[in-house]
Structure 1
């Protein structure tokens, strides 16, 4: 039964992501409405709402009994072992200022475990799909994080929650990573960083207190591409929930990133 649900859900998620992506791409550079939705300066546009409506309609028409948690609509409650996590436009701040770095993110969670992830990048037409235990693909081709030798300086993606802006510990860690790395990247669109890590274009990602509808699609794609995800103590991260303080990287770079984070947190 579970496999059948995931098989059908895969087709729903892919078609939803493609259609939502077309809506987003067609409105790029032609926005009529942009507003701030919280005190942290996060934005929402009519494209967010239009893309979300497409995705929610498709999911609900096939899985009316499933719970949905969506970026703009919030929780569409249902008593179900299945939950959809939807971010119809990850990277809205980029989108609103005409920067073509954004994606559609859809995740299906069974009980507490992500089992399906779809990320679609409308401007590059890259479609990433991952199923738990089945690997990850980009446009149908297998994605693998690959192996790399010892690191002198890494290319690191930094992801922080909206509420972290004035956190002194986060600022200290962020500064240490920036000073110690070849490059530290902040894209305002976390899913793009996860796909970069999955295909080997980043060496690692450090997450500081950031959980949202876009997080678990990226985690699953990286894990299915052969990467590891752990907390700052080195414990494997599984399931969902909590306030993630995470490291994702190749397995052979585990010690490098644990040391990098510990040094940053312990600096005076």
Structure 2
């Protein structure tokens, strides 16, 4: 099977997860803090309900596939195909009533990302890619369904770049000076978009996304979208981003190279 063969099923996962999540958005719900006294890390009833619904469908349709999810951990993660799920990436925006969150559905084939989708059920948008192409679907200007292929935009240097990170305070303290040195070189830094930042990079609105401390479920779905739009995504040392960690994504390889230089410059 190829990634294309899974497309109708991925759309079904997006549908059931959206149906589980939307009754909780901008409504009263139960919330817990997973941080155990560290940086505030909320989880909601919506997170758990959406992941449970997706896991149930995967188990019924593909019982031999593995699953890695934020809320319920890993099952058969050495399988040939492994689904990587983050039911609500951007939970802090979600609990604040802001639409800068999304459901991440990624698929690994032999440990390599082969397909990814970011679904935002409130805005009715989907960003998806297979590493070769990336696309967007959503409402048009008059409410009709619209679609287009995504292309990252060219950018010649950091001094012309728009940089996004969810929050500089989420960069681990030992890495923060390196991030700050990079931010000082860009034209415009913006904060707070979580997975949306990578999709805006793929759509050609942002030039650079830099984060650290990510888990596998935070990034797998986004890698094929960024690469499918012509972007570059690696760890801060230029390595494989699949397992998460410190991540840098760029729409233009020139900006990516300059970002790596800035992040790894000796002080």
Distance change >3 Å, CA 78–CA 117, structure 1 → 2: closer
Distance change >3 Å, CA 222–CA 65, structure 1 → 2: same
The structural deviation recorded for 1:7 is: 3.2
Match of 2:260 among 258, 261, 264: 258
For residue 96 of structure 2, what is the aligned residue in structure 1?
Answer: 97
| CA deviation vs aligned residue, 1:172-191 (integer Å, no higher than 9, x gap) | 1233333332322332x531
The structural deviation recorded for 1:61 is: 1.4
For residue 121 of structure 1, what is the aligned residue in structure 2?
Answer: 120
Report if aligned partners of 2:233, 2:241 keep a CA contact under 8 Å in 1: no
Confirm or deny that 1:38 pairs with 2:35.
yes
Distance change >3 Å, CA 29–CA 239, structure 1 → 2: closer
Secondary structure of 1:17's aligned partner: helix
Report if aligned partners of 2:131, 2:228 keep a CA contact under 8 Å in 1: yes
Equivalent positions of 1:1-268 (< 5 A) are 2-3=1-2, 6-39=3-36, 40-77=39-76, 80-133=79-132, 135-139=133-137, 140-158=147-165, 167-187=172-192, 189-233=193-237, 235=238, 237-238=239-240, 240-241=242-243, 244-249=245-250, 250-263=252-265, 266-267=266-267
| CA deviation vs aligned residue, 1:131-152 (integer Å, no higher than 9, x gap) | 243x111014211113234452
| CA deviation vs aligned residue, 1:233-256 (integer Å, no higher than 9, x gap) | 4x4x44733x53332211232333
The structural deviation recorded for 1:79 is: 5.3
Report if aligned partners of 1:115, 1:131 keep a CA contact under 8 Å in 2: yes
C-alpha separation in 2, matches of 1:157 and 1:219: 16
| CA deviation vs aligned residue, 1:211-250 (integer Å, no higher than 9, x gap) | 23021111210011101123434x4x44733x53332211
C-alpha separation in 2, matches of 1:254 and 1:80: 32
| CA deviation vs aligned residue, 1:104-140 (integer Å, no higher than 9, x gap) | 000010111111111111222111121243x111014
Distance change >3 Å, CA 52–CA 168, structure 1 → 2: closer
C-alpha separation in 2, matches of 1:239 and 1:148: 22
Aligned alpha-carbon RMSD (Å): 2.4
C-alpha separation in 2, matches of 1:158 and 1:173: 14
Count matched residues. Answer: 255
Give the alignment's TM-score, normalised by structure 2.
0.85
